[in-house]
Structure 1
Amino acid sequence: MSTQGSTIDRITLARRPRRSVPAAHDRTATTATGLPGSSALRSTFELLERRAPAVGGRLAEHLWFRLPARPAAAVRAERTPRGGEPFEVAWAHGTVRGRVYGDWGNPTAYLVHGWGGWWQQVGAHVAPLVDRGLCVVAFDAPSHGDSDAGAFGRRSTTFVEMAEALAAVVREFGRPSVVVAHSAGGLAAVHALGLGSEPDSLVLVAPSEGVPAMLPVVTTALGIGRRSQATMVTLAERRVGVPMEALDLLTMASQHGSLPHLLVVHDRGDREAPFAGGVRLKDAWHGARLVATEGLGHRRVLWDPAVVEQVGAFAAAAADRVRRSSR
């Protein structure tokens, strides 16, 4: 991807005092590894690396794709914005469920949560986007929230399944003016570009660079040795259906000649998706903008009023372009 002629607009938000966030909001997709860590687990992997690396690889692959327990329905209901209409959309392996807000005839914004999350985590953007004249479609990915299990059961899915579900929802509600995706949900949003989702604009909040960048973090955190890792990667590629190297944001984006307008929102102190990844993404994506925040971390950045305003303005510009192009 060429970066020539790129107009980079760096916006740094002032540091804000740390404030309490409701637990349901603060509970994100997962940690950087997406996996629980403990000394006992590390000891287990060290033993398996010496004596049974194939078993260690199978265990590692199982844990890597295992989702955290879903929050109680009452917790999610409490965080659901008022109004809207529930919907169900069938996809290849089940049904995904969500809610649509605003006038269905307006340009459409899609909200995509992260790994292990649920759509209400992105709910702060619903009302501001509706107020700016967009129809907002928010849904739970397979094996998340209120949606059915994917092909691998209720506690497991893949980024590819998440992308396929997004593409199915887009087929139901129409071409996106903008897709707003959090964390690893950005991988699904970018992968969906090749599945018929063609947004005018894309907002990636606290984006993960991709699976290749996650792999050393996971293996280091859990103490997975090289032989076990080799089995883990082989099994993971078999499950996903593509090489690990292909599940990288920039690799996926480079396969498309025309890319959506991009806004990256990333906190400098993000411990789960390092800020440097957001900078690299902005630098490589023609015309991308970066909003760099301070003190919001990986989760609170979704709810910060200044961030919500920046995303809303960016989405409104996308909606205006879509309206003009449809005349």
Structure 2
Amino acid sequence: MNLALTAAGASVRAAAALSPRWGAAVAMPLFGYVAKPRPVHADDEPTMLRARPRTVRVPGVDRRGVDVDTYEWGDGPRTVVLSHGWNGRASQFSMLVRELVAEGYRVVSFDAPAHGASGGRRTYLVDWLGVFAALQERHGAFEAMVGHSFGGLATLVGVAGGVDAARVVTIAAPADADLLLSQFQGMLGYPDAVATSMRELFARRYFPGEADPFAWLSSVRRPLPAGVPLLVAHDHGDRVVPFGEAGRIIAANHGSRLLATQGLGHNRILTDDAVLDAVLGHVRSPLDVAAPAEVEELGEAPAAA
């Protein structure tokens, strides 16, 4: 654990000793804080240089308005939107971008607020939803949406909430926001009483007026609309988002397909050839054929305990 995280946890626990609400008040600003953006990898620079940069403006978590950098490749009539995860950026999809453009798609991605080239230091899922809405207004219905990690959860929530996408792919995605709050509690080490206050404060801060925001921040409690095919790719050894999250998403979305990998972890799965082929196959798949639930294993699955 780094020193900054240790100090943050100590501050939250000290406030919690006085009151769970005080502990939650100290923890809340840390929950939406994003570390310094990762640089663009050298292998991804050529793809990013070929992008057509634009911006969209979204309300932002503070509802003050924030500009988000977007990127477009290709000029086909069918639009595929790629959504990165927490501490990610659009450039992570460079290999998939090249594959999709070669197939004739228009590809659109973005750096969420506080990520990549976009400004700010704080964000949450509402910003991803705001970007989806702005891109939908610009491009119309999406042929497909592909989301990695937190961006995968945002994609599931967005399409369940009305974003018009014909197909969905998630890669290493959590099933709901509860996991994220639980992981945050584990990192800072605050007690359950603070966790309860955090959930209440989280709901008031990000989703005012919502009786139970966790009901719709969940692919389990609010699955995709019928007829939207879903591919879920996840690695057995993912140390960021547990593999079990994939099973929860699959169980809630009838007819979805699970692509289980081994040895790719949380990020390398984005550049694996077999995974890229599966994503392309899903994006090209016909919509009028109801596919049965399917599990495909890539590599050797771990032995049962």
TM over 0.5: yes
Aligned to 2:139: 173
Aligned to 2:237: 269
- Residue 250 of structure 1 aligns to a residue whose secondary structure is coil
> Any residues of structure 2 matched to 1:196-215 within 5 Å, and which?
196-215=162-181
Aligned to 2:69: 97
Unmatched tracts of structure 2, length 5 or more: 60-64, 289-305
- TM-aligned CA deviation for residue 70 of structure 1: 1.9
Provide the rounded CA distance (Å) in 2 between the counterparts of 1:45 and 1:134: 47
The one-letter amino acid paired with 2:201 is L
- Residue 118 of structure 2 aligns to a residue whose secondary structure is coil
Aligned to 1:53: 20
Change (3 A) 1:267 1:194: closer
Q: Answer yes or no: is the 8 Å Cα contact 1:89–1:172 preserved in 2.
A: no
Q: Answer yes or no: is the 8 Å Cα contact 2:112–2:128 preserved in 1.
A: yes
The one-letter amino acid paired with 1:250 is V
Unmatched tracts of structure 1, length 5 or more: 1-30, 149-153, 322-327
Aligned to 1:64: 31
- TM-aligned CA deviation for residue 315 of structure 1: 1.1
Provide the rounded CA distance (Å) in 1 between the counterparts of 2:20 and 2:221: 30
- Residue 137 of structure 1 aligns to a residue whose secondary structure is strand
> Any residues of structure 2 matched to 1:12-31 within 5 Å, and which?
none
- Residue 62 of structure 1 aligns to a residue whose secondary structure is helix
- TM-aligned CA deviation for residue 162 of structure 1: 1.0
- TM-aligned CA deviation for residue 185 of structure 1: 0.6
Pairing partner for 1:118 from 89, 104, 110: 89
Pairing partner for 2:110 from 131, 139, 153: 139
Provide the rounded CA distance (Å) in 1 between the counterparts of 2:205 and 2:254: 32
Higher relative contact order (CA 8 A, sep 6+): 1
In the comparison of the two structures, how many residue pairs are matched?
279
- TM-aligned CA deviation for residue 115 of structure 1: 1.6
- TM-aligned CA deviation for residue 293 of structure 1: 0.3
1:216-247 deviation line (CA, Å, top 9, x unaligned): 22213311113322332222111211435221
- TM-aligned CA deviation for residue 286 of structure 1: 1.2
- TM-aligned CA deviation for residue 95 of structure 1: 2.5
- Residue 96 of structure 1 aligns to a residue whose secondary structure is strand
**Mapped pair 1:283 → 2:255:** no
Aligned to 2:299: none
Aligned to 2:261: 293
Percentage identity across paired residues of the two chains:
30
The one-letter amino acid paired with 1:51 is L
Change (3 A) 1:145 1:79: farther
Aligned to 2:295: none
Q: Answer yes or no: is the 8 Å Cα contact 1:167–1:196 preserved in 2.
A: no
The one-letter amino acid paired with 1:135 is R
Change (3 A) 1:219 1:66: same
* RMSD, aligned α-carbons: 2.6
1:261-293 deviation line (CA, Å, top 9, x unaligned): 100000001111111110121122111001100
1:164-186 deviation line (CA, Å, top 9, x unaligned): 11121121012111101000112
The one-letter amino acid paired with 1:64 is F
> Any residues of structure 2 matched to 1:244-255 within 5 Å, and which?
244-246=213-215, 247-253=217-223
- Residue 260 of structure 2 aligns to a residue whose secondary structure is strand
